A and B are shown apart, each in its own frame.
Chain A
Amino acid sequence: MTILSGGKTLVAALGRQTLAPIRNLGKLGTFFFWGLVNIFTLPFQFYKVIEQVCFIGAKSVFVITLTGAFTGMVLGLQGYYALTKFGSEGMLGSAVALSLIREMGPVLTAVMVIGRAGSAMAAEIGIMRISEQIDALETMSIDPVRFLVSPRIAAAVISFPLLTALFDVIGIIGGYLTGSMLLGINSGVYFARVESSVLMKDVTGGFIKAVVFALVVVAICCFKGFYTHLSKEGFGSKGVSLSTTSAVVISCVLVLVTDYVLTSILL
């Protein structure tokens, strides 16, 4: 009898463990779907979208410029010494440009924006949840997903590709600084290689990645903040800190996973 009931408990626990992530995934799916749909419902939330573009996009310009420049510079250095071994340092322009536009631009931009804006989204929405501000929106018949999430999704979809483009351009200039100015590659050769090797397909691929990363990052960060109160490990401010941490970690990991998947599709 005891063995039987013990077995039942075990099966029940296993079932719960299996069902919980599936349920969460479903919740994330509907949350994201309504967030996306509500971007297009009237009246359009132009002002809020612009506000978020300013927060996610404009205010990230400095950090993206900085990281873009140093990434390009380090690529220039590493690339030069690797290519010299084969006597093909003239290809540095292609190496820097392609690795930036195809991979590093979208990924590093996403990671930097997660750190700067994604964590802020999760924390802000999380605090709104624990201080009943989201409940207050519901009592006023204001759809909290439309009010809080939709403008962020729209703003991220606008900002991510632009920030990625900025990252790419600054990175290519960074590569030029180290490769050409410091290590002496002919600047004409460097830029000619950039021009000849980069195809429209690479640029489009990079932008597709940026848009997908934008959706992934905003969905995860907003979702984590929005459901802070359901966290089993902590309530209140601890709950907010946990959801912010997990929002950052999960979205970073997901960005890399999605990057692999997209690369394999796009190549």
Chain B
Amino acid sequence: MTTPLIQLRDIHKTFGSNPVLNGVNLNIYRGEITTIIGKSGGGKSVLLKHIIGLLEPDSGEILLDGLPLSAMKKSDRKSLKQKFSYMFQGNALFDSLNVYENVALPLKEKTSLPEREIRKRAGEKMAQLDIAGIGDRYPAEISGGMKKRVALARALITNPEIILFDEPTTGLDPIRKNAVHGMISDYQKKFGFTGVVVSHEIPDIFYISQRIAMLNNGRIIFEGSPDEIQQAQVPEIQNFIYGMENRRSGFNGSGHQTYVEQRFNQEKLRLCDHNITFSLIIFTLENFSEITEHADHMAGQTVLTNLTDRIRHHINITDSCSRCGLNKIALLLSNTDIEQARAFCQRLSKEIKGDDLLDIKPYPGFCFSIRAGFAQATRDCSLEALMEKAESTSNPFYTFNIF
């Protein structure tokens, strides 16, 4: 078993007479994204501030690479701190500095890079986050979503080893929210940083996290993989996760995976009782990461959203369409066997035009392909097994190229 990068041991913190953390134990592993979920005002941000050292625990210990922070020399702690980056819930942008100065500040203050290099790096990061044109504006002059992206650019500019995100997507529109999630995931894969995210975005956050921890009443009541937490039979966790999921998805107006699950159970009953079959199609946007890399983080999301829209125009009210992964869409077709599902797909692929799926101006050599996998339900199959079967039979569905 590898040693966790960050270990929190029995952390207690009380503000006045209000205990916020009552013995938090949490392990954060290197190179993973760990998400902390829990009720608002439950101490998630406080926990994050303990990790970066903005708050000191009343009791308990924080270990970094197995070494307790409290036993470290001040100079060691200081040099260690430079590996961290923190994205604040309220952005904490310097309101008397413009956007460019905000993004460039960590490089200007903590490195001896020449101005030209700083300008280049800040420009790259700003371009990646779609804020390149607003460098000379002040935080008060830009929208909430832009402020979030400026804060994110500032957190990423020093290429830190550990990044703590305090609700990075609050206040963003659904598309940008997914773009930010995609970006955190992409950067994590690219740079291999360790991420700690505080978020309410269930289930979207499950797609990008390797570990989930749930904070309840000042304690971590669960720590495990996204799959494990969804299967955990603890009422608090179930209420929290499914309470959050019951709302309609902001992603594309269709239901989330749980909605597909409900429909799956209903259809399975119909299959068992009345022998009415149904099928599942999984659409996978193949080169999602390539698109986000070459175009921007919105492009992949845009293709998925527009594809969902197109599918929704062609399905019946009894069918259901939902996102089931960072780059996947699940479509459940009632009263349809596998051949009918294939025929539906063929019809759909003929009617789709690449330009409909793109809101961005494609660059030369731009291409994306979508694969579709089919599976017909059987009486004894589970949703997971059906999805797996569908994905294993994945066929090219649609290819879009610009030469």
Contact = CB atoms under 8 A, between A and B. Distances in A.
Given A131-B95, A135-B54, A142 B110 contact: yes
A141 interface: yes
A136 interface: yes
A141 B86 contact: no
B353 interface: no
B92 interface: yes
Give the contact-size bracket for chain A.
10 to 19
Contacts of A131: 90, 92, 95
B313 to A, nearest CB: 45
Contacts of A127: 95
Contacts of B158: 140
Contacts of B53: 138
A139 B82 CA distance: 8
Given A135-B54, A136-B86, A141 B92 contact: no
6 tightest CB-CB pairs across the interface, nearest first? A139-B86, A136-B92, A132-B92, A140-B106, A142-B109, A141-B82
B78 interface: yes
B105 interface: yes
Contacts of B105: 140, 142
Nearest to B107: A140
A104 B302 CA distance: 69
A204 B56 CA distance: 47
Interface in A41-67: 43
A139 B154 CA distance: 11
A133 interface: yes
B90 A142 contact: no
B90 A139 contact: no
8 contacts: A127-B95, A128-B94, A133-B93, A136-B94, A139-B81, A139-B84, A140-B110, A141-B82
Among A131, A141, A142, the one with the most B-chain Cβ atoms within 10 Å of its Cβ is A141
B52 interface: yes
Q: Which of B53, B93, B109, B112 has the most CB of A within 10 A?
A: B109
B85 interface: yes
Nearest to A128: B94
A139 B110 contact: no
Given A136-B86, A147-B109, A141 B96 contact: no
Nearest to B90: A132
B88 interface: yes
A107 to B, nearest CB: 31
Interface in B73-112: 78, 81-82, 84-86, 88, 90, 92-96, 105-106, 109-110, 112
Contacts of B92: 131-133, 135-136
A141 B108 CA distance: 12
Interface in A137-178: 138-142, 147
Contacts of B109: 140, 142, 147
Contact of B94 (A133, A138, A141): A133
Contact of B54 (A43, A133, A138, A147): A138
Main secondary structure of the interface of A (DSSP, over half): helix
Contacts of A43: 112
Interface string B43-84: 000000100111000000000000000000000001001101
A141 B88 contact: no
A52 B54 CA distance: 28
B75 to A, nearest CB: 12
Contact of A141 (B54, B78, B95): B78
A140 B102 CA distance: 12
A18 to B, nearest CB: 22
A237 B106 CA distance: 28
Contacts of B49: 135
Contacts of A202: none
Contacts of A128: 94
Nearest to A45: B109
Nearest to A43: B112
A169 to B, nearest CB: 33
Nearest to A138: B54
Interface in A88-139: 124, 127-128, 131-133, 135-136, 138-139
Given A140-B109, A141-B81, A124 B96 contact: yes
A43 B88 CA distance: 28
Contacts of B88: 132, 135-136
A234 B389 CA distance: 62
A117 to B, nearest CB: 15
A61 to B, nearest CB: 22
A121 B12 CA distance: 36
Nearest to A139: B86
Given A131-B90, A133-B94, A140-B105, 19 more contacts: A43-B112, A124-B96, A127-B95, A128-B94, A132-B88, A132-B92, A135-B88, A135-B92, A136-B92, A136-B94, A138-B54, A139-B54, A139-B81, A139-B84, A140-B106, A140-B158, A141-B81, A141-B82, A147-B109
Nearest to B94: A133
